[in-house]
């Protein structure tokens, strides 16, 4: 089975790097996304299943590094690096399962792994 990439346009090389792919395996309402795919370019798609043709598309506007669901699958934490004209900063962004941005937390340090 192939996962349909909906949040970016693939070029001729069809190269796109996935930063993180996480599935919430606990109980969740049928209409709530449980699969999150974060790409290194900061785009993310939230899906109800691997066959979801109506994925929720989110642009985090940072370089994606990792993401993880909370204990009940209602909040997704996304970690990455945001670049501006004068500096880079590490951030953790928190989203609802439906892609609504809730909060941003700046993380001190040079690199997030």
Q: Is residue 8 part of a domain?
A: no
What pLDDT shows up at residue 88? 83
- For the chain, how many structural domains are there in total? 1
25 domain residue, yes or no: yes
**Would residue 3 count as lying in a domain?**
no
The answer as to whether 12 is a domain residue is no
> Edge-to-edge, what's the strand order for the sheet holding 18-23?
18-23, 35-39, 43-47, 56-59
The ranges of the chain with pLDDT < 50 are none
46-49: long-range contacts, CB 8 A cutoff, minimum separation 24: 46/76, 46/95, 46/97, 46/98, 46/99
Domain that holds residue 50: 18-107
What does the mean pLDDT of the chain come to?
88
**Per-residue pLDDT, 99:** 97
Domain membership of residue 9 (yes or no) is no
Q: Is residue 6 part of a domain?
A: no
Residue 10 lies in a domain: no
The 10s digit of each residue's pLDDT in 66-83 is 999 999 999 999 999 998
> Is 11 a domain residue?
no
Sequence-distant (≥ 6) Cβ neighbours of residue 56 within 8 angstroms: 33, 45, 46, 47, 98, 99
């Amino acid at each position: 089975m192939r996962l349909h990439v909906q949040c970016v346009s693939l070029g001729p090389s069809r190269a796109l790097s996935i930063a993180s792919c996480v599935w919430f395996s606990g109980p969740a309402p049928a209409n709530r996304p449980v699969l999150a795919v974060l790409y290194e370019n900061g785009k993310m798609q939230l899906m109800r299943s691997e066959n979801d043709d109506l994925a929720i598309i989110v642009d985090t506007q940072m370089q994606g590094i990792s993401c993880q669901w909370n204990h009940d699958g209602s909040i997704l934490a996304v970690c990455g690096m945001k670049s501006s004209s004068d500096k880079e900063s590490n951030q953790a962004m928190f989203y609802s399962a439906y892609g609504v941005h809730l909060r941003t937390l700046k993380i001190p340090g040079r690199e997030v792994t």
